[in-house]
Amino acid sequence: LRSDVVPKTAENFRQLCTGEQGFGFKGSIFHRIIPGFMDENFKLQHTEPGILSMANAGPNTNGSQFFITTVACPWLDNAHVVFGKVVEGMEVVKAIEQLGSRSGRPSKMVVVADCNELKE
């Protein structure tokens, strides 16, 4: 997580991973998976697979939804806040990608079975 560049976004995501506020990503379902897919600040870019970025519906609508890129997505720069990168487990991301479709509807249910914070 890039708390050095986007501290609020990174901290929000971290807390949702740990569930320390009493709620979080554990048990959540991935509702869209699009193969080959694609506002704190926009300093970081969508330059490679594995980029973590906030999903939104326009300016000032970031919440708790995020996406992980599976290819470079420069067209998303300046529209979605990048806040981190997958550093371990890209094979899981690629396996999830295989369950996607052009419409985004997953062919099987994909659930966050467990999540937490990796300590350095």
Q: What is the CATH number of the domain that holds 23?
A: 2.40.100.10
Range of the domain at 86: 7-97
1 is a domain residue: no
> 39 in a domain, yes or no?
yes
Per the rule left: phi > 0, alpha: psi between -120 and 50, beta: everything else, 83 is alpha
Overall domain count for the chain? 1
In a domain, 27, yes or no: yes
Please, which residues have CB within 8 angstroms of residue 52's CB and are 6 or more apart in sequence?
1, 13, 66, 67, 68, 82, 83, 84, 85, 86
Partner residues linked to 82 by β-bridges: 53
Instruction: Kindly report the average pLDDT of the chain as a whole number.
Output: 87
Coil/strand/helix, residue 31 = coil
Report residue 61's pLDDT band, with 50, 70 and 90 as the boundaries.
Answer: low
Specify the pLDDT at position 37: 60
Instruction: Tell me: pLDDT of 2 over 90.
Output: yes
The pTM score is 0.79
Considering the domain boundaries, does residue 106 fall inside one?
no
Please indicate, yes or no, if residue 35 is contained in any of the structural domains. yes
